[in-house]
Amino acid sequence: MERYASAADLVAALKPERPVLCARPHAAARAARWFVDNFDGDVAYAYKANSSVFLIGALYGAGIRHFDVASLPEIEDAATIPGVTLHFMHPVKSREAINRAYFKHGVRSFSLDTEDELQKIVDETSGPSGPARDLALFVRITVPAINSRIPLERKFGTSGQKAARLLVKARQVAAELGITFHVGSQTMTPDAYVNALAEVQRLIGMAGVVVDRLDVGGGFPSIYPGMQPAPLARFLAAIREGVDKLPVRENVRLMAEPGRALVAEAESVVVRVEARRGNDLFINDGGYGVLFDAAHLGWIYPARLLNREPRAGEAPVSYELWGPTCDSIDHMKGPFVLPACVKEGDYLEIGNVGAYGRAIAGDFNGYGKYEEAILDDEPMMTMYGEAGPAKALIG
Ligand SMILES: *Cc1c(COP(=O)(O)O)cnc(C)c1O
């Protein structure tokens, strides 16, 4: 893997024909160290956010030893990392996946939100001498999404009497009983966690069970143009306060599952402008590639021109971007703010695409093939800098 001091250096050296995925492993390591140092429990990286070996290596080097995985292929991948604990936190799993996770890959930790799923887990982890006695079972509860840019509460989770009944049932077969939730991705303010923990408290009271584990899930935000979240320290402080109110606070083992917050800053994509039409730029990656969220959720990423200095005194322009496929939904409305002089053949860095960028990219229409490189400079925007959330450096 080639290393460069910056994306501008990479472009000067390579003039790449294809888009280049640029990893900044040091940024993933910095984020992971922050979580490991400041969160009072296990930090399980949500594997689906980005499974680049460079980033996983950096997270591991920074002390991450737990992974939240959601499928057998993710488990098979993550199980090759020495000395890690995997948590199979998808509430709907195939029987084969449960069986192989437990017997072949040593997974002991599972989430569930129905009695049917509990029965599947019991069936598939039982051996000749009876039911497994070493399961950590996390009941996934529904919590309101507050200030989340990607709410997740409609798909998974149980609540009320049903949740209480499931907790009682799971208690009977679990070596360790846990509760888990997800407040929704890119949650901008800590009150979502305060609310969720109040719901946990209510359910523990209703069910009258001892809870050994509490997983506060993911949802921790990153910084993007136009999205300046509350500082991460405030999220962890809110969680600490909420946990202190729980009857089980003395003995409960905490876990968090950050995905986005650990890797968002750690990847950029370098793209080439293949055409300019007015203030629309046609580039060689898009909504079927790393920029899925830009096309489908209207996400805005920081962007800068790499191969030239803009003319002095030139006002920046708001551009829309179009991806390379023939599909008209391959359109990123932005705005992406760049110098007025951008023209065909120019190279752009689109930053902070590390979360769910590479992970989602496909190769529709023959695109989606990337060169890869490592960069040593700072991410375009960061939550972890000396001065707190920094501003984008716009070319
Ligand atoms: C996706 C996911 C995460 C990570 O969410 P982020 O918003 O990226 O932090 C954590 N836990 C579960 C169960 C998930 O599905």
What is the pLDDT, as a whole number, of residue 385? 82
Our answer on whether the CB atom of 151 is closer than 6 Å to any ligand 1 atom is no
Kindly indicate the confidence band of residue 330, based on its pLDDT and cuts at 50, 70 and 90. Answer: very high
Q: Is a pLDDT exceeding 50 seen at residue 196?
A: yes
Rounded mean pLDDT, 270-299: 97
Out of 35, 55, 68, 92, mutate this one to test ligand 1's pocket (max ligand atoms within 8 Å of CB): namely: 68
pLDDT in tens, 3-56: 999 999 999 999 999 999 999 999 999 999 999 999 999 999 999 999 999 999
| Rg (the chain; Cα; Å) | 22
Q: Concatenate the DSSP letters of all residues of 171-187 into one string.
A: HHH-SEEEEE----EEE
pTM above 0.75, yes or no: yes
How far apart are alpha carbons 138 and 122 in whole angstroms? 13
Q: Are 114 and 158 contacting, i.e. CB atoms less than 8 angstroms apart? A: yes
- Cβ neighbors of 182 (< 8 A, separation 6 or more) are 140, 143, 152, 153, 156, 217, 218, 219, 257
Comparing CA positions, the residue from 394, 304, 381 lying closest to residue 350 is 304
Pairing of the two strands 136-140 and 176-180: parallel
How far apart are alpha carbons 330 and 112 in whole angstroms? 36
Q: Are 319 and 225 contacting, i.e. CB atoms less than 8 angstroms apart? A: no
Comparing CA positions, the residue from 379, 307, 380, 316 lying closest to residue 347 is 307
Rounded mean pLDDT, 307-319: 91
Compute, in angstroms, the gap from residue 218 CA to the centroid of ligand 1. Answer: 4
Q: Please state the separation of Cα 330 from the chain's center in Å.
A: 23
Domains of the chain: 3-22+266-375 (2.40.37.10), 25-263 (3.20.20.10)
pLDDT in tens, 51-96: 999 999 999 999 999 999 999 999 999 999 999 999 999 999 999 9
What is the pLDDT, as a whole number, of residue 388? 52
Rounded mean pLDDT, 347-369: 95
What is the pLDDT, as a whole number, of residue 249? 85
